Amino acid sequence: MNPYEELLLNLVEHDERYVVLTAENRGHMRTVPPKLGNRFIDVGIAEQTMIGVAAGLASQGRIVITHALAAFLTLRPFEFIRDDVGIPNLPVILVGMVPGVLSDANGPTHQAVDDVAIMRGIPNMGVFCPSDIDDFIIGMKVITRLQQPYYVRYIASPSVVEHRPTFVPGESEVVIGGEGGSFDVTILTYGYLLRECVEATHYLEKQGLRVRLVNMRTLDPVDTSMMVRAANDSHLVVTVEDHFATGGLRTILAETLLDAQATCASFHVNIGDRWFTPARLPEVLDVERLSAKHLSQRILSVLETAHVEH
Amino acid sequence: MTQNNTVADSFTDSRTNVALRVREHILRMSTNGGAFTGASLSCADIIVWLYTSFLRIRPESVNDAERDILLLSKGHDVPALYATFVECGFLDKGRLSHHLSAKDHIYWHPNQNISGVEFHSGSLGHLLSVGIGMAIDKKLRSLPGRVVVILGDGELNEGSIWEAFLTASALGIDNLIVIVDRNWFQANVRTEDLIPLEPLTTKFEAFGWTAHVVDGHDFDDMDNVLGSWRLIERTPQVFIANTIRGFGVPSIANRADRWFCNFSDSEVEDLIQELHGLSLATLTSDTLSVR
């Protein structure tokens, strides 16, 4: 069993409220279904039905963890999520597989690059975008006990950093650079691209820059205080995300600074207003200029051309 | 469950009289903003029959784990439910006068602020899958209750309904009962003129369900057909209840333009006379209103 299967089994074994559903997506749980017994239900390739069933179960006191590819999970049953899970604020966890760049060569139909925007638009819905398997497991242990709906970008990639073991929705973690002081650059990111940002940060530090790297963890609720602090103590704030330019971290930063009546020099790395080029993941990162090498060069270029003081 | 039976045990009046008063309530809700009158009148007898003769639920047991559950998937017929709630003691009659007022929760679609409503609806095609989830929960707990979902025939246009019909039979959800309010209309047109549904029984059977046909306005037939429901292991059952949209009020019945109605107060009084078999109402309000 992988760590996620172990988590699911542990939840189901120790608390009769937990039920695991899938819309015939079992790529990340090949072993555990028989062990979950009658609290594992595969509804077939029927995402609307899965969300409706989840809402019905949750309305009777269950906590339901649902699974499908992130693009299908968020889009096909969107109205079921909004109406049947969101309106009554039911504890249904939506775990979306291969989000963002992780859909690599599948093509635009499979690209969940608008998922943060539409999920955080639903009242009551939380959004958790872990950066690796450790981050995911740490957060899931908390989220599955919150008694509210949550959308989670699944990720099984091994960790490249040590995560803070405490997880609080709306609290980011500083991965590099520390909380206080002043910085040339603060990089805000989430999900798979954290690893690229770690490597890019190391490179920028070697160039003599003071860099802070922040893993946002949850985007709804979001760590607004960290965003405002970054705007105040950093010469440049950079957002890095595998998401459309609209509705994700770039938009959240803009909203946050507007609400706080704050401003800063900023630079935004994202997919833009189009789908990314389908290819194997390393090539996606290269052609979409999301790799560590591209990120560090793009940030250096902004620092130079924008004459940002540092 | 303290009261493992229906409200009928404390009932002295006939179901016919109850249904008549339910129709009066529906008509009185069809003014000052209006209501989905035609759709409510078509399923009024089904809902009255369910609460007086079938569902094991009483006003004092709305939260009891062993209760039966009713879901209105075609939520716009909620006046029939609230009117039945009044007649069966779930809701104070005075609250019906709050229809469409912000001071209460009695609006055009059902919501759980009203005691006895098990799940909100409004958008069509949702509550069959929600009902499957509730029925699974009962099976996981080995509870005896049944989940009854009322679907509109127009609602059968929605793909999510057929997805859920497939899943329910695949999962063997035998404590789930669907009643189709087969009034042969959808919002603005006859069902068979737009997206023909027949042969409906055959369709349901092909999806792995046991299908029955019943007269949705005949209490004796509902006693015989719906009332003889017995659990068939691993097989969900559907009852196609033949009804007439606007049943009981000739000026409203079987008319495509009287799905949603907003009558004047005097027209409502005339329609109530009509309901009781007295003179036909003269209607001048523009009732062709689509919501």
* Residue from the list B130, B140, B170 with its beta carbon closest to the beta carbon of A55: B130
Q: In the prediction, which pLDDT does B287 show?
A: 54
CATH number, domain with residue A301: 3.40.50.920
pLDDT band at B5 (very low <50, low <70, confident <90, very high): low
State whether residue B174 is helix, strand or coil.
coil
Q: B152: which residues sit within 8 A by CB, 6+ positions away?
A: B39, B73, B74, B77, B124, B180, B181, B183, B186
Residue of chain A minimizing CA distance to B132 = A53
Average pLDDT over residues B104-130: 97
Q: Do A145 and A183 fall into the same domain?
A: no
For the range B110-114, what are the long-range contacts, defined as Cβ-Cβ under 8 Å and sequence gap of 24 or more?
Answer: B110/B72, B110/B75, B110/B78, B110/B81, B112/A88, B114/B82, B114/B85
Please report the pLDDT score of residue A145 as a whole number.
98
Quote the pLDDT of residue A91.
98
Give A219-274 pLDDT, tens digit per residue: 999 999 999 999 999 999 999 999 999 999 999 999 999 999 999 999 999 999 99
What are A107-132's pLDDT values in tens digits? 999 999 999 999 999 999 999 999 99
Nearest CA to B128 among B193, B207, B232, B226?
B207
- The verdict on residue A60 lying in a domain is yes
pLDDT bracket for residue A307 (50, 70, 90): low
Q: Within this chain, do residues A12 and A145 fall inside the same structural domain, yes or no?
A: yes
In three-state secondary structure terms, B135 is: helix
Chain B contacts to A (CB-CB under 8 A):
112, 118-120, 122-123, 125-138, 140, 159-160, 163-164, 166-167, 170-171
Residue A310 lies in a domain: no
**ipTM strictly over 0.90?**
yes
Which residues in chain B are contacts of A50 at CB distance < 8 A? 129
Contact A83 B135 (CB under 8 A): no
State whether A139 and A178 are in the same domain: no
Please tell me whether residues A253 and A132 are part of one structural domain: no
Instruction: Give the angle subtended at the CA of A112 by the CAs of A284 and A139, to the nearest 5°.
Output: 100
Residue A168 belongs to some domain of the structure: no
Give B265→chain A minimum CA distance, Å: 34
Show the 3-state SS of chain A: CCHHHHHHHHHHHHCCCEEEEECCCCCCCCCCHHHHHHHEEECCCCHHHHHHHHHHHHHCCCEEEEEEEHHHHHHCCHHHHHHHHHCCCCCEEEEEECCHHHHHHHCHHHCCCCHHHHHHCCCCCEEECCCCHHHHHHHHHHHCCCCCCEEEECCCCCCCCCCCCCCCCCCCEEEECCCCCCEEEEEEECHHHHHHHHHHHHHHHHCCCCEEEEECCEEECCCHHHHHHHHHHEEEEEEECCCECCCCHHHHHHHHHHHCCCCCCEEEECCECCCCCCCCHHHHHHHCCCCHHHHHHHHHHHHHHCCCCC
pLDDT of B10 over the 50 cut: yes
Are both A195 and A248 inside the same structural domain?
Answer: yes
Q: Could you tell me if residue A164 is inside a domain?
A: no
Same domain? For A104 and A29 the reply is: yes
Confidence band for B289, pLDDT divided at 50, 70 and 90? low
Query: What average pLDDT is seen over chain B?
Result: 94
Contact A49 B135 (CB under 8 A): no
Cross-strand pairs, B200: none
- What residue of B is the nearest CA neighbor of A85? B130
Question: A128 and A17 in one domain?
Answer: yes
pLDDT of res. A89: 98
Co-location of A143 and A181 in the same domain: no
Q: CA–CA separation, A132 vs A154, rounded Å? A: 9
CA nearest to B243, candidates B107, B99, B96, B77? B77
Rounded distance, CA A155 to CA A174, Å? 20
Residues listed for chain B? 291
Residue whose C-alpha is closest to residue A124's, from A106, A144, A146: A146
**Which residues in chain A are contacts of B125 at CB distance < 8 A?**
48
Could you tell me if A187 and A227 are in contact, meaning their C-beta atoms sit under 8 angstroms apart? no
Mean pLDDT value of segment B267-272: 96
Place of tokens 């793009």: A298
Residue among A104, A36, A42 nearest A67 (CA): A42
Angle between helix axes B159-171 and B127-140 (nearest 10 degrees) is: 20
Nearest by CB: A59 against B119, B123, B128: B119
Are A143 and A197 members of one domain?
Answer: no
Of A90, A123, A153, the one marking the end of a domain is A153
Residue B7 confidence (pLDDT): 72
Give the domain-ending residue among A120, A153, A186. A153
Same domain as A110, residue A218 = no
pLDDT of residue B285 exceeding 90, the answer is no
Kindly report, residue by residue over A170-192, the tens digit of the pLDDT. Answer: 999 999 998 888 999 999 999 99
| DSSP assigned state of B281 | P
Contact (CB<8Å) A43/B167:
yes
How high is the pLDDT of residue B4?
A: 47
A79–B163 CB contact, under 8 Å: no
Cβ contact, residue pair B133, A55, below 8 Å: yes
Domain encompassing residue A271: 173-305
Specify the number of domains making up chain A.
2
What CATH number is associated with residue A76?
3.40.50.970
Indicate the pTM of the whole model.
0.96
Sketch out chain B's domains with CATH numbers. 13-275 (3.40.50.970)
Residue B194 near residue B253, CB atoms below 8 Å: no
| Residue A148 sits in the same domain as residue A177 | no
**A39 inside domain:** yes
Q: Is residue A145 part of a domain?
A: yes
DSSP bridge pairs for A126: A150
A-B contacts (CB, under 8 Å): 91
Confidence check: pLDDT of B13 > 90: no
Please identify which residue in the block is written with the tokens 């994202």.
A270
Residue B3: is its pLDDT beyond 50?
A: no
**Three-state DSSP class for residue B180:** strand
What's the average model confidence in pLDDT over A134-156? 98
Dihedral pair phi/psi, residue A14, rounded to 5° = -100, -5
Residue of chain B with shortest Cα separation from A90? B119
Q: What is the DSSP string of B39-78?
A: HHHHHHHHHHHHHHHT----GGGTT-TT--EEEESSGGGH
Those of residues 75-104 in A touching chain B at CB distance below 8 A are 79-80, 83-84, 87-88
Query: What does the pLDDT read at residue A104?
Result: 96
pLDDT-derived band at B256 (thresholds 50, 70, 90) equals: confident
Whether A105 maps to a domain, the answer reads: yes
CB contacts of A45 in chain B (<8 Å) are none
Instruction: For residues A234 and A106, state if they share a domain.
Output: no
Which residues of A fall within a CB distance of 8 Å from B135?
56
Smallest CA–CA separation between A66 and chain B, in Å? 13
- Which of 36-55 (A) contact B at CB < 8 A? 38-39, 41, 43-44, 46, 48-55
pLDDT digits (tens, 9 = 90+) for B41-89: 999 999 999 999 999 999 999 999 999 999 999 999 999 999 999 999 9
Tell if the CB–CB gap between A44 and B166 is shorter than 8 Å: yes
Instruction: Read off φ and ψ for residue A238, nearest 5 degrees.
Output: -115, 130
**Closest by alpha carbon to A83, among A115, A54, A44, A117?**
A54
- The reply to whether residue A51 touches residue B128, judged by beta carbons under 8 angstroms, is no
At B235 the three-state DSSP class reads strand
Residue A230 forms part of a structural domain: yes
For residue A48, the chain B residues in CB contact (below 8 A) are 125, 129, 159-160, 163-164
pLDDT over 70 (residue B286): no
Note the pLDDT of residue B1.
Answer: 38
The answer to whether A299 touches A267, Cβ cutoff 8 Å, is yes
Per-residue pLDDT at A41 exceeds 90: yes
